[in-house]
Structure 1
Amino acid sequence: MNRIDRYVSGLFWLSFIGGSLVFVTIFLAVDAMSTMVSYKGLDLGVLLRFYVYYLPEIFNKLLPVACLLATILTISTMNKANELVALFAAGMSLFRITLPLLFWVLVISVTGFIAMDRMGPAMARQKNYIFYNEIKKNPSLYSTVKTNKIWYRSKNAIFNIKTLSAAGDTAQSLTLYFFSPEWDLLQMITADKVELRGSTWNLLDGSVTLFTGNSSFPLTSQFKTKKIAMGEDAKDLQSTGQTSDTLSQTELHRFIERNKEAGLDTIRYEVDYHSKYSFALAGLVMCLLGIPFSVGKARSGGTMMNVGIVILLVFGYWILLSSSLTLGTHGHFNPIIAAWAPNLLMGGLAYFFMLRLKR
């Protein structure tokens, strides 16, 4: 890197660090106040531990915004000081000037993706555990996802599910254990398939085993269909069916394959899988889109206009991304198209505006 590249990189990192701190602080303040209002009497120590585990996820979500803001502020600062004019006169193109910015954005994006893939799932599990057990005080909603099993607890029952559909309305290979208040095993129910209808479950092709002190051996009977009433908290099992944030990409891929083998719908998980890759490059795409705007508007509107451009670009991208992922999860788009279409469209728009620049 020559002196100009180091100068541009210095401006970028100064804006990136400052923007990241501002965005994260604002997000934490708003979210923490909302949490304290929703759950009154919450211990501050619990809240602090919750946000310690939540912080990496917050920072990862705000990375594209921070990269975009840093890029636009860097170019605007140079444009306002007529440094761009001098560099253009020296024969440097806009692409060459912004090349260090794009390099650092790519490094940040790849590093953030790898870090979240390695550490994110463990942090998300700890965050969920604190939220359901210590903040919401409803441990039955917390699920621990193993490599091949899912365990839940609902009042005096513990149950194991091999696979759970994305919608949370069907499950495969269920084993239910019912206990007495003294935690003596009373009954075990197994079923090959389960239809979850709120707190009422329809069990198909299973068995019931009773454990009583009057008999030396457990009593077992088979059934084709059986309807059981679970606790009210069991109907919230659907809300814990989303496990993508607690799995690495490798684990999520295996989870998808296992659900496919069980004949369950995996579209939602496939969209999540591909969207993690596409979101890792969102910062680079948005920066490419922001470069022509910052060059063309810096003199006439100043820094505040460029900040407004950042907000508009972010909102536009998030609306497009949310719409595409929603259509993908409902089966209207292929998961790969749903995940990558926003980046491709934004990238094409950035290329169009770059061509319209006179420089």
Structure 2
Amino acid sequence: MIKTLDRMIIKQFLPTLLVSMLFFILILEMVELFSNLWRYINNGVTITEMMQVFLYYLPSCINFSLPMSLLFSVSFTLGNYYANNELIAIFGSGVPLFRFVIALVFFGLLFSFASFIFEERVVIDSFKLKNELTNKLLRQSTSLNNNNPTVIDNNGTIIYSADFYNDKDITLSNIIVIHKDENGSMLKTINAEWAEWNTDEQLWEFHRCRRYHHDPESGFFVSEYDDIFTDPVFKTDPFTFRRVIRDVGEMKIRDAKLWIESLRKAGLPYAESLTAYYRRFSFSLTPFVVCLLSAAIGGRFRKNILLMSLLTSLVISVVYYVLQLVFTILANLGYISPAAGAWIPFIFFCVIGFFLYRFAQS
């Protein structure tokens, strides 16, 4: 009998899920269209080009709409069973609510793993293409120049500080470099009018610079002036001086991990990127937690099932995403750890889901 009940609930659940996903995908695509419509018109973007943007955005819409669709589908399916009094026989036969909806919860867990793989294999690349095409069509450019860059390299033994970094020419203006040994003792200091990246030797050339370095014979620091000075130890990659505009959401897990590690080694702020990295894992489990929640509360609706299921799915989704946003901001500002900022909303809703099952009609 249990297998028959599982097949019955899945048979009614899947068509509802498909229709609701199409509905939410359409809404997301329409929001994207109307938010940029006037820009498309002003830049003479053709319908074919707009359709290409929507095609690249489709995988992201599928990923975003899945949790809301699961919420609605589970609530609507169970609401129909309650309204038709079909659960009286099921509960009367000794089948508890959690056992009856275990197939839906399992589907939520399955969709969570599928969502993570789908995002890693498809969504990341398509979303990056969508952003690149949108910027091209709207004639939007991004500057990598950076004001007042400060970079720490070589495990904290080399510190760069400049007034301006020019990414086109790969130069640093009014730069100061401090070089220390592993014990923190000063080895040399460089004050240069500007520095240029030597692409052949892969190091920095300092122009019109004054060096202060330790003289082992006298035991004092001496000052020297050079028109051009190079040292193989000053080979920090120019990308670390760029204005940080890379989005972890457009990187695959491996690339995101390497990017965060490079930020950490360079002494640049990385809390925001690390929070987004952890959130990639917690967000992929959203289908599981929404199935858990909707299965506990979905059967409480006996009237206006369609409207109440839709309203419930939207309300829970908004609360969940707002809670994620709040804790993400707290993590970015350093009030909580990046891991806590990414996982607390998920854990909180899981606890609520299991708590609701204790008081659910069964």
Whether TM exceeds 0.5 here: the answer is yes
Compute the displacement of 1:60 (Å).
Answer: 0.9
Q: Partner amino acid for 1:21?
A: L
Compute the displacement of 1:206 (Å).
Answer: 7.5
**What SS is found at the alignment partner of 1:52?**
helix
Compute the displacement of 1:303 (Å).
Answer: 3.2
| Counterpart contact for 1:140–1:153, Cα < 8 Å | no
Is 1:55 matched up with 2:37?
Answer: no
Q: Which residue of 1 aligns with 2:275?
A: 271
Q: Which residue of 2 aligns with 1:86?
A: 89
Rounded Cα–Cα distance in structure 2 between residues aligned with 1:209 and 1:302? 67
Q: Which residue of 2 aligns with 1:312?
A: 315
Q: Partner amino acid for 1:275?
A: R
Compute the displacement of 1:69 (Å).
Answer: 0.9
Larger Rg: 1 or 2? 2
Rounded Cα–Cα distance in structure 2 between residues aligned with 1:177 and 1:317? 42
Q: How does 1:164-203 map to 2 (within 5 A)?
A: 176-178=167-169, 189-190=171-172
Q: Which residue of 1 aligns with 2:13?
A: 12
**What SS is found at the alignment partner of 2:94?**
coil
User: Residues 311 and 207 from structure 1, CA distance in 2 versus in 1: closer, same or farther, beyond 3 angstroms?
Assistant: same
Rounded Cα–Cα distance in structure 2 between residues aligned with 1:313 and 1:177? 47
Q: Which residue of 1 aligns with 2:215?
A: none
Is 1:255 matched up with 2:237?
Answer: no
Is 1:67 matched up with 2:40?
Answer: no
Rounded Cα–Cα distance in structure 1 between residues aligned with 2:336 and 2:260? 18
User: Residues 98 and 321 from structure 1, CA distance in 2 versus in 1: closer, same or farther, beyond 3 angstroms?
Assistant: same
**Structure 1 stretches of at least 4 aligned residues deviating more than 6 Å after TM superposition:** 191-194
CA-to-aligned-CA distance 1:29-73 (integer Å, 9 cap, x gap): 232122112332322122111121111112111211111111111
User: Residues 162 and 126 from structure 1, CA distance in 2 versus in 1: closer, same or farther, beyond 3 angstroms?
Assistant: farther
Is 1:349 matched up with 2:352?
Answer: yes
**What SS is found at the alignment partner of 2:267?**
coil
Compute the displacement of 1:248 (Å).
Answer: 0.7
TM norm structure 2: 0.73
| Counterpart contact for 2:278–2:342, Cα < 8 Å | yes
| Counterpart contact for 1:244–1:273, Cα < 8 Å | yes
Unaligned 5+ runs, structure 2: 154-160, 177-190, 198-204, 211-241
Is 1:124 matched up with 2:127?
Answer: yes
TM norm structure 1: 0.74
Compute the displacement of 1:307 (Å).
Answer: 2.3
**What SS is found at the alignment partner of 2:336?**
coil
- Pairwise CA RMSD of aligned residues? 3.3
Q: Which residue of 1 aligns with 2:290?
A: 286
Q: Which residue of 2 aligns with 1:25?
A: 26
CA-to-aligned-CA distance 1:190-240 (integer Å, 9 cap, x gap): 57979xxxxxxxxx8674569xxxxxxxx982458xxxxxxxxxxxx85x7
Q: Which residue of 1 aligns with 2:140?
A: 138
CA-to-aligned-CA distance 1:234-264 (integer Å, 9 cap, x gap): xxx85x7142122111111111111111111
Q: Partner amino acid for 2:16?
A: S
| Counterpart contact for 1:293–1:309, Cα < 8 Å | no
Q: Which residue of 2 aligns with 1:232?
A: none
Rounded Cα–Cα distance in structure 1 between residues aligned with 2:66 and 2:174? 44
User: Residues 209 and 26 from structure 1, CA distance in 2 versus in 1: closer, same or farther, beyond 3 angstroms?
Assistant: closer
Q: Partner amino acid for 1:10?
A: K
Q: How does 1:297-336 map to 2 (within 5 A)?
A: 298-336=301-339
Q: Partner amino acid for 2:128?
A: R
**What SS is found at the alignment partner of 1:299?**
coil
User: Residues 175 and 306 from structure 1, CA distance in 2 versus in 1: closer, same or farther, beyond 3 angstroms?
Assistant: closer
Q: Which residue of 2 aligns with 1:182?
A: none
| Counterpart contact for 1:162–1:174, Cα < 8 Å | no
Q: Which residue of 2 aligns with 1:230?
A: none
User: Which one has more relative contact order, counting CA pairs under 8 Å at least 6 apart?
Assistant: 2
CA-to-aligned-CA distance 1:255-302 (integer Å, 9 cap, x gap): 111111111111001100011111111121122122222222x22553
Compute the displacement of 1:342 (Å).
Answer: 0.7
Q: Partner amino acid for 1:64?
A: P
Compute the displacement of 1:353 (Å).
Answer: 1.5
Aligned-residue sequence identity (percent) comes to 21
Q: How does 1:152-231 map to 2 (within 5 A)?
A: 176-178=167-169, 189-190=171-172, 207-208=194-195, 221-223=207-209
Q: Which residue of 2 aligns with 1:106?
A: 109
Q: Partner amino acid for 1:270?
A: L
Deviates more, 1:27-36 or 1:105-114: 27-36
Rounded Cα–Cα distance in structure 1 between residues aligned with 2:18 and 2:152? 44
User: Residues 140 and 316 from structure 1, CA distance in 2 versus in 1: closer, same or farther, beyond 3 angstroms?
Assistant: closer
Rounded Cα–Cα distance in structure 1 between residues aligned with 2:289 and 2:71? 9
